[in-house]
Amino acid sequence: MTSQAISAPDSSPPAAGYELQPGRTLDERFFITQTISRSGMATIFKATDLLRNDQVALKVPFMQFESDLGFYSRFLREEQIGLSLDHPCLLKFIPVEERSRPYIVTEYLEGETLAQRLKKASPMPENEALSLCGRICEALAHMHERGVVHRDLKPQNVMLCSDGSIRVLDFGIAKSTGRRFTFVGFTPAIGTPEYMAPEQVKGRRGDARTDVYTLGAMLYEMVVGTIPFADGEHEDVFAAMNARVTGDPKAPRRQNRGLSEQVEEIILHAMERDPGKRYPSALAMKEELDQPGSVELTGRCRRLQAPSPWKRHWKNALLIGLALSGVAAGLVKLVLLILRRGP
């Protein structure tokens, strides 16, 4: 779920036709006190749960998306996945049996995202970065044991709470066993280009090692101060995706001379292009994060390959593929609507 209560309230006016706003009560239970943030598809509010007498966060989609079958399916799955998980480092979802419209209720958190922290102070101290990634590994291991792959891990989806705890957020495109992509309208949601694993770029299902790659990319950013493959071309989404498929990031210690060889080894182990060469699990990665002094140096930093130049015709092919995927998703939605309505 998108991050909650992590920045100043959004003072912009409500979206057109969108009736919920601070001062109103939803389903005679949730008194809305504040608008936290607004994305292109939903608003997140701070509210008082009158039944539990507690502060919560509400994620409420805009009305125009409520009738979109693809969006509704993704929204419903996000809640189902959230309710199935129970770990102190994962956002807690609150069940609601009856509701008048789609929305998700979660715990309300005070603090800032890792992305906000990195904007203020980057790179992070090595020990702090290792400790934080170790706790993220614990959250991922809990998810993976239950057959859930996050698929969109990034600094914006990690909450650093005021009480010192952390939460992994946003299960909007998390994958349970057996599902491949989620379509929202005509847009296939497969991840965030700056942190995607190579197999995601190729359109493959991915597994626990996909999240391991992404965490490696996050650790790279935390201790180096820039995202992997940040040479200017990352501003082009397709070039960023091409880089992950055809090459390796620059050696972290070339970017930060004060970084230890052991941490560089951990990052490059997690970011191997071939999933079979990565840590087999989040817990295996955590073992080395917790004891970096015991990490075996294998010389990965000397075997890195620069990404191949971006070919324009591949960009055109990818654009066509994405467009066809969107059309196919639209046809599926149309058929489902016809079947629902009947003769």
CA of 68: how far to CAs of 62, 157, 251, in Å?
A: 11, 25, 44
**Rounded to 5 degrees, what are φ and ψ at 125?**
-60, 140
- Residue indicated by tokens 């009158």: 50
Q: How far apart are CA 214 and CA 305, in angstroms?
A: 19
Calpha distance 320→167 (Å, rounded): 37
Backbone angles phi, psi at 230, to 5 degrees: -85, 85
Check: CB of residue 220 under 8 Å from CB of residue 229.
no
Catalytic residue among 27, 49, 86, 152: 152
Q: Is 298 helix (H, G, I), strand (E, B) or coil?
A: coil
> How far is 133 from 138, CA to CA, in rounded Å?
9
Which residues, including other chains, have CB under 8 Å from residue 301's CB and lie 6 or more apart?
251, 252, 253, 261, 264, 265, 268
Does residue 152 have an active-site annotation?
A: yes
Q: Return the number of other C-beta atoms located less than 10 Å from residue 146's C-beta.
A: 14
**Looking at the annotation, which residues are catalytic?**
152
